[in-house]
C-alpha cells in the first residue's frame, strides 16, 4: 500500500450522493508515479520512498543531475519528485515500481498538499482580515494598520506582527478530505472539498495522518 501519490489539480465540480445530497468535489489527475529512489535506515538513516510523477518530459528539459538521478533508477520523464516516509504496513518498494491511483478507494481520508495561489502584495484587510476604521463621521483612519508597537518600551516592532506584505504562494495542507470516487481508467481521484492551488498545479496526496 502506497503512503501517497503525486498529481495535478484538474478543477472543481459537484456530485450527487445516492440520497440526493450535493457534494462539492475537486478532481485530481493522480499518477501514474514511478519509484525513483528507496531510502533505507542502513544507507540513509531513515525509511522513505521517493516518487516521480510520470509526465513524459524530454530529457533536455531537465538538469543534468536530475536526468542522471532518474536514469540511475531506470525512470524517465519526471520533473515533479517528492518523498514519503514509510511506516510498517506500507509495503516494500524498489526503484522502477509503479504507483497508481488504485491504491485508494472511496471513503478513504487523505491530506492534500499544494502551493496556494499567489496574491502579490496585500494590505492588512485582505491579508489578515482586519476590520479597518470607520468610513464616515470624518474618520481619516480606514485601511491603515493602527498601532504596531509601544513607543517608550520596547521601542521596536515585535517579531510576528501582522502587517501588509506578500500574500499567498505558500505551502498549504488541507487535512482529512474524503475520497468520493476513484477512476482507475483515467487516473482521476475525486475528493470532497477544495484543494489549494490553481488548476493545473502540482499536488501531493498522502494518507491522512490524523
Indicate the pTM of the whole model.
0.84
DSSP state of 117: P
What average pLDDT does this structure show over 131-140? 92
Question: Given this model, what pLDDT does residue 165 score?
Answer: 95
Question: Given this model, what pLDDT does residue 198 score?
Answer: 95
DSSP result, 149-191: S-TTTT-SPPTT---SEEES-SEEEEEEEEEEEEETTTTEEEE
Name the strand (E) or helix (H) holding 197: none
Q: How confident is the model at residue 89 (pLDDT cuts 50, 70, 90)?
A: low
Can you name the CATH fold of 4-120+171-207?
Answer: Elongation Factor Tu (Ef-tu); domain 3 (2.40.30)
- Rg from Cα positions in the chain: 22
C-alpha cell at 174: 488541507
Q: Which residues of 80-119 are buried (b: 16+ CB within 10 A; e: fewer)?
A: bbbbbebeeebeebebebebebebbeeebebbbbbbeeee
Q: Which residue has the cell 482507475?
A: 184
What average pLDDT does this structure show over 136-141? 92
Question: Given this model, what pLDDT does residue 13 score?
Answer: 95
DSSP result, 38-66: EE-TTTTSS-EEEEEEE----GGGS-HHH
List the one residue out of 56, 48, 50, 45 whose CA is nearest residue 72.
50
C-alpha cell at 109: 481520508
β pairing state of 78-85 and 48-54: antiparallel
pLDDT digits (tens, 9 = 90+) for 180-194: 999 989 999 999 999
DSSP state of 137: T
Domain boundaries defined on the chain: 4-120+171-207, 121-167
What average pLDDT does this structure show over 47-61? 86
Instruction: Express as a percent the part of the chain with pLDDT over 90.
Output: 55
What average pLDDT does this structure show over 92-111? 87
Amino acid at each position: 500500500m502506497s503512503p501517497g501519490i503525486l498529481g495535478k489539480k484538474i478543477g472543481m465540480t459537484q456530485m450527487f450522493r445516492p440520497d440526493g445530497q450535493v457534494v462539492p468535489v475537486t478532481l485530481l489527475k493522480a499518477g501514474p508515479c514511478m519509484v525513483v529512489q528507496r531510502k533505507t535506515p542502513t544507507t540513509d538513516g531513515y525509511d522513505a520512498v521517493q516518487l516521480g510523477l510520470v509526465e513524459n518530459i524530454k530529457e533536455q528539459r531537465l538538469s543534468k543531475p536530475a536526468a542522471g538521478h532518474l536514469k540511475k533508477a531506470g525512470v524517465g520523464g519526471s520533473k515533479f519528485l517528492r518523498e514519503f516516509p514509510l511506516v510498517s504496513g506500507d509495503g516494500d518498494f524498489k526503484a522502477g515500481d509503479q504507483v497508481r491511483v488504485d491504491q485508494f478507494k472511496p471513503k478513504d481520508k487523505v491530506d492534500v498538499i499544494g502551493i496556494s495561489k499567489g496574491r502579490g502584495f496585500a494590505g492588512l484587510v485582505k491579508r489578515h482580515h482586519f476590520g479597518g476604521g470607520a468610513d464616515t463621521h470624518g474618520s481619516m483612519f480606514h485601511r491603515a494598520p493602527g498601532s504596531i508597537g509601544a513607543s517608550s518600551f520596547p521601542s521596536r516592532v515585535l517579531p510576528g506582527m501582522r502587517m501588509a506584505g506578500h500574500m499567498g504562494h505558500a505551502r498549504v495542507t488541507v487535512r482529512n478530505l474524503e475520497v468520493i470516487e476513484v477512476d482507475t481508467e483515467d487516473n482521476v481521484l475525486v475528493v470532497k472539498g477544495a484543494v489549494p492551488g490553481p488548476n493545473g498545479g502540482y499536488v501531493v496526496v498522502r494518507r491522512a495522518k490524523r
